Amino acid sequence: MKDVAHVTIRRCPTCNNIREHTAHVREMLRGDPTVPVQIEDGAKGEFTVLINGRVVAKTQPDGTLPTEALILDAVRQAEPAESSKMGNDRCSNTLTPNRT
């Protein structure tokens, strides 16, 4: 099976406008069944999109949310995830101590 980009959206669980924006982005990304999208509760006012654990879009300091077009463009340009490095946990980029 081909590796795909893993998209995680961390969003404020109480902000209506952010929940609605999350729903729109998720629906837009459902157009590509090879892109798994995970939604996680984040901090108050947060809307952050991560691809393969790397932040690609987030709420601006003035509260402006990233556009759907910006997010879709980031997903299209993303490198596929490496299966061996991507797990089900959020800490897939955790450093492993050197055991030499």
| CA–CA distances in Å: residue 83 to residues 1, 4, 25, 92 | 10, 9, 24, 11
Longest CA–CA span in the chain (Å) reads 51
Instruction: Provide the residue count of the chain.
Output: 100
pLDDT in tens, 64-89: 999 999 999 998 888 776 543 444 34
Q: What is the pLDDT of residue 35?
A: 84
Domains of the chain (ranges, CATH numbers): 7-77 (3.40.30.10)
Q: What is the pLDDT of residue 12?
A: 96
Average pLDDT, the chain: 80
